[in-house]
Amino acid sequence: MTLPEILAIALVAAVCVTLMAGYPVAFTLGGVSLAFALFGHLLGVFDLTFLGAFPQRVFGVMTNEVLLAIPLFIFMGVMLERSRIAEDLLETMGRLFGPLRGGLGISVVIVGVLLAAAKGVVGATVVTMGLIVLPAMLRFGYDKRLAAGTVAATATLAQIFPPATVLVLLGDQLSNAYQSAQLSKGIFAPKTVSVSDLFAGAIVPGFALVLLYIFFLIAMAIFFPKSSPAMPPDPAAPVGFAMARKLAEVLVAPLLLILAVLGSILGGIATPTEAASIGAVGAILLAARKARLSEIIGPTAIKAAQITTLIFVILIGATLFSLVFRGLGGDDLVHRSLDNLPGGPAGAVFAVMIAMFFLGFVMDAFEIIFVVVPIVAPVLLGMPGVDPVWLGVMMAVNLQTSYMHPPLGPTLFYLRGVAPPEVTTAHIYIGIIPFVAIQLLCLVVLWFLPALATALPRALYGG
């Protein structure tokens, strides 16, 4: 191993250690990378002319049309926080399934799916459900661990269901990596993989994950009935036709928004960026039914701008990291390491999945997408038999797991911040463990049944 490659490994280790020390992500990525670039230059193993490409890369990031969908989807999610859709859905679904043992938990999962597809932002979904759903489950006698785990896992579905922000960013990175892998093999008219492909590929695995959650809740209700009791009947609750009418009222608006956004993307009518603008306008209209726009549109715009800025600053820091890592020969090191693993392409993908899972203990999903994926994806996609959509969906499910497994899963911190005082950190950590196991089971199923991720994109777009 050469000195530059040793520095490349030290760069990755230094970033991980600095992140664990609590320093801001964006400045850690940029600052540590710049320090290693200067140190490498002093040792004569890094050419500072590499950094001349940095402004052009930043300009490319800021003018990337696909990434324009990010602020629009975030605006849509934040605006829907103000529309009280979650409250209406939970109340109605709770009355529909609540008389069944475990029914409220099932209602939470269904509401979580709709919110995930409508919002696409994990933080907003966790906070909304933590404030509304968790107190309701505790009030009706649910076990604190089961309630906390259900809310955390369900809210994190916003990580895998389109139009998840993570899928947009992952799709953009994989698109670049897939083209790079083909060009390296001398294919100068490369095939492409788009965000739309990844959206389509994530739908079936996402619903499979939801079914596994529901089966788990049903099992808990059967074998541990005290953990998830039935809701007592409410004499004032609507029944029969009145209940059906109420259900239709609360479902029509979010379903129309979801169909408008996802339907236009999957149907090839609009790009993800164009569909995001449709979703933003639709969210404004839904929020206008519940509150005065003059009261909410300002705070909404400020919060959306803050979240968007955070993501793009991390992306810029990751761009500098990637540039320095490549300048130190890290790409060649990764390529050789993955090529020499036993098991061929399958062994390489397995190793990357394991690494991403453990990196989730110390790194955020955005950091893994911006730092790890650009390094390993071109190598993996250059191997025979590795489908880019399947790889992307595997990574997305893995990243969703990293969002909620202890001790540093962001979802757990979001929930801890809004949970009632009687729900402790231990309740949240223990409660999420069965759902992390379900996530890993989903990864195993996807490993052996890749058609779950690839069949729908092929049916829609061919190839």
Q: How many CB atoms lie within 10 A of CB 164?
A: 28
What number is the average pLDDT over the span 142-148?
A: 90
Asked if 163 and 275 count as a contact pair (C-beta separation under 8 A), the reply is yes
Asked, for residue 30, whether it belongs to a domain, the answer is no
Asked, for residue 15, whether it belongs to a domain, the answer is no
Residues in the chain: 463
Tell me what pLDDT residue 98 has.
65
Asked, for residue 354, whether it belongs to a domain, the answer is yes
252-263 tens-digit pLDDT? 777 888 788 888
Q: What is the rounded CA–CA span in Å between residue 244 and residue 26?
A: 49
Confidence of residue 49 (pLDDT cuts 50, 70, 90): confident
Reply yes or no on whether the pLDDT at 177 is more than 70. yes
What number is the average pLDDT over the span 82-100?
A: 71
Q: What is the rounded CA–CA span in Å between residue 255 and residue 263?
A: 11
**Which of 389, 201, 172 lies closest to 273 in space, CA to CA?**
172
Query: Phi-psi category of 84—alpha, beta or left, where left has phi over 0 and alpha has psi -120 to 50?
Result: left
pTM beyond 0.85, yes or no: no
Tell me what pLDDT residue 214 has.
92
Q: What is the rounded CA–CA span in Å between residue 99 and residue 235?
A: 12
Tokens found for residue 422: 């009687």
Which 8-state DSSP code applies to residue 23? -
Asked, for residue 22, whether it belongs to a domain, the answer is no
Q: What is the rounded CA–CA span in Å between residue 426 and residue 431?
A: 8
Tell me what pLDDT residue 22 has.
67
| Residue type at 451 in one-letter notation | A
Asked if 120 and 162 count as a contact pair (C-beta separation under 8 A), the reply is yes
Tell me what pLDDT residue 142 has.
87
Asked, for residue 175, whether it belongs to a domain, the answer is yes
Q: What is the rounded CA–CA span in Å between residue 181 and residue 63?
A: 23
The CA-to-CA distance between both ends of the chain, in Å, stands at 40
Reply yes or no on whether the pLDDT at 446 is more than 70. yes
**Which of 116, 20, 12 lies closest to 407 in space, CA to CA?**
20
294-335 tens-digit pLDDT? 677 778 788 788 878 877 887 788 788 878 888 888 777 777
Q: What is the rounded CA–CA span in Å between residue 435 and residue 100?
A: 22
Tell me what pLDDT residue 450 has.
92
195-212 tens-digit pLDDT? 888 888 999 999 999 999
How many domains, in total, are found in the chain? 1
Domain coverage including residue 88? 49-461
Reply yes or no on whether the pLDDT at 124 is more than 70. no
Tell me what pLDDT residue 463 has.
57
Asked, for residue 438, whether it belongs to a domain, the answer is yes
Q: What is the rounded CA–CA span in Å between residue 457 and residue 197?
A: 6
DSSP string across 324-346: HHHHTTHHHHHHHHHHTSTTHHH
Three-class secondary structure of residue 463 per DSSP: coil
381-439 tens-digit pLDDT? 888 888 899 999 999 998 888 778 776 677 777 777 778 888 888 888 888 899 999 99
Tell me what pLDDT residue 211 has.
92
Tokens found for residue 286: 């839904």
pLDDT, greater one: 35 or 112: 35
Asked, for residue 42, whether it belongs to a domain, the answer is no
Tokens found for residue 104: 């409220």
Tell me what pLDDT residue 233 has.
67
Asked, for residue 414, whether it belongs to a domain, the answer is yes
